[in-house]
Amino acid sequence: MRTPRDLRPESAAPAGPLWARVGGGMQEIGSGRRHGPADPAFPPPDGPWDELWSGSRLVGWAPAGALARAAAGRAEQEGARIGRERRAWLLGRLGHKLRSSALALQESARQAAHGRRELLELIHDLALDVGRRALALEAVALDPKDPPRAVMMGAVLGLAASGARRLVPPDAVVRASEPVLVEALTRTYEWMGGQGSAITGTRVGGWWRLEVLPAPGRRPLAVPELGEPLVRHIVDTLLEGWLDAGAADRAVIYLPAG
C-alpha cells in the first residue's frame, strides 16, 4: 500500500538533507524515508545530525553545523505539510471505499425488495462493512476529545486484542488518550490477523515498544487502507507514537511511556 510521500518538487525542497517530525516519528524530506521514534536518543541514520528544537519539542534533524533556527522552522513547516497530505489522502481513500460499500448495500437492498430474498444475508454483511468503514473514516476525520493520561497497557490489550497471546509487563503504562489507544490496538490486532497473533511489550528509554506478530494463516484485509495507513495515522498522529511497518512479518509500535 503506497501512501503519499514528499510531493514537493525537488527545486522547492530545502537545501541539504532534513528530517522533519510528523506526529511521533520523522520523515526525510525528498526521499520520504521514515525513522522513529522522535527522540534525541534515536537519531536518524547516515549522520552526524544536529537536533532541531521548537521550545521543548524536537521537530527534526539537520546536518551538523546547519543554522538551527532556520532549519527548525523549515522542519516544522514540512512536517505540518506532510501530516496534512497524509490525512487528506487517507480521508479520500476511505471515503471512496465507504461510498462503494454503501452503493453495493443500496443495490442489494433494492433487489431484495423485489423478491431476491437470498440476498438478505449479504445485506447483513454489507451493512456491517459499511459500519466498519464509516468508523474508520470518523477516526481520521475527527480529533480526539479525551486528553492523554496514564493508561495501563494490559487492560487496554485485554479489551482490544483479547484473542492475542499477550506478553506485556503488568506495570506497562503509556501516556495516551484511552479511547484512541483502544482504537489503535484494535485496528492493529485486526490488521495482524486477529485470533492467534502475539503481542510483546518492552520498555525502551521513554517508550513502550510493542511488537505484534501476525496470526497463523493471516489474510490480507479486504480494504488495505484499514491496515497500515489507518494504524499509522492513529499511532503517529493521534497518539504521538511511531509505527514501524518495515518488516513484512510484524508491526512494531512505540508509545510514550506514562
Q: Is residue 213 part of a domain?
A: yes
**CATH assignment at residue 209:** 3.30.565.10
Do 65 and 89 lie in one domain? The reply is no
Asked if residue 10 has pLDDT above 50, the reply is no
Query: Is the N-terminal amide bond of 43 cis, ω within 30° of 0?
Result: no
Residue ending a domain, choose from 95, 117, 141: 141
Q: What is the mean pLDDT of residues 217-227?
A: 93
Query: What stretches of 192-239 show up as alpha helix (H) in DSSP?
Result: 228-232
Confidence (pTM): 0.88
Do 16 and 65 lie in one domain? The reply is yes
Q: What is the mean pLDDT of residues 235-257?
A: 96
Q: Is residue 192 part of a domain?
A: yes
Asked if residue 175 has pLDDT above 50, the reply is yes
Do 161 and 233 lie in one domain? The reply is yes
pLDDT tier for residue 153 given thresholds of 50, 70 and 90:
very high
Q: Is residue 3 part of a domain?
A: no
Per-residue pLDDT at 3? 52
Q: What is the distance between the alpha carbons of residues 256 and 258, in angstroms, rounded to a whole number?
A: 6
Residue ending a domain, choose from 125, 141, 157: 141
Domain holding 94, by residue range, is: 85-141
Cα end-to-end distance, the chain, whole Å: 32
Q: Which residues pair with 20 in a beta bridge?
A: 27, 60
Helix (H, G, I), strand (E, B) or coil at 184: helix
Do 224 and 163 lie in one domain? The reply is yes
Per-residue pLDDT at 113? 82
Q: Which three cell numbers stand for residue 174?
A: 503509556
Residue entry with cell 479525551: 146
pLDDT tier for residue 202 given thresholds of 50, 70 and 90:
very high
Per-residue pLDDT at 15? 58
Asked if 198 and 222 count as a contact pair (C-beta separation under 8 A), the reply is: no
Per-residue pLDDT at 116? 84
Asked if 227 and 221 count as a contact pair (C-beta separation under 8 A), the reply is: yes
Q: What is the distance between the alpha carbons of residues 62 and 69, in angstroms, rounded to a whole number?
A: 11
Radius of gyration over alpha carbons of the chain, in Å? Answer: 20
Do 234 and 197 lie in one domain? The reply is yes
pLDDT tier for residue 14 given thresholds of 50, 70 and 90:
very low
Asked if 255 and 176 count as a contact pair (C-beta separation under 8 A), the reply is: yes
Q: What is the distance between the alpha carbons of residues 22 and 31, in angstroms, rounded to a whole number?
A: 15
Q: What is the distance between the alpha carbons of residues 214 and 231, in angstroms, rounded to a whole number?
A: 15
Q: Number of structural domains, the chain?
A: 3
Whose CA is closest to 254, among 154, 184, 155, 171? 184
More confident residue, 84 or 125: 84
Phi, psi of 2 (to 5 degrees): -95, 135
Residue type, 121: E
Q: What is the distance between the alpha carbons of residues 5 and 16, in angstroms, rounded to a whole number?
A: 18
Asked if 20 and 82 count as a contact pair (C-beta separation under 8 A), the reply is: yes
**Residues 6 or more apart whose Cβ sits within 8 Å of residue 245:** 228, 231, 232, 251, 252
Residue ending a domain, choose from 32, 53, 82: 82
Q: What is the distance between the alpha carbons of residues 199 and 213, in angstroms, rounded to a whole number?
A: 6
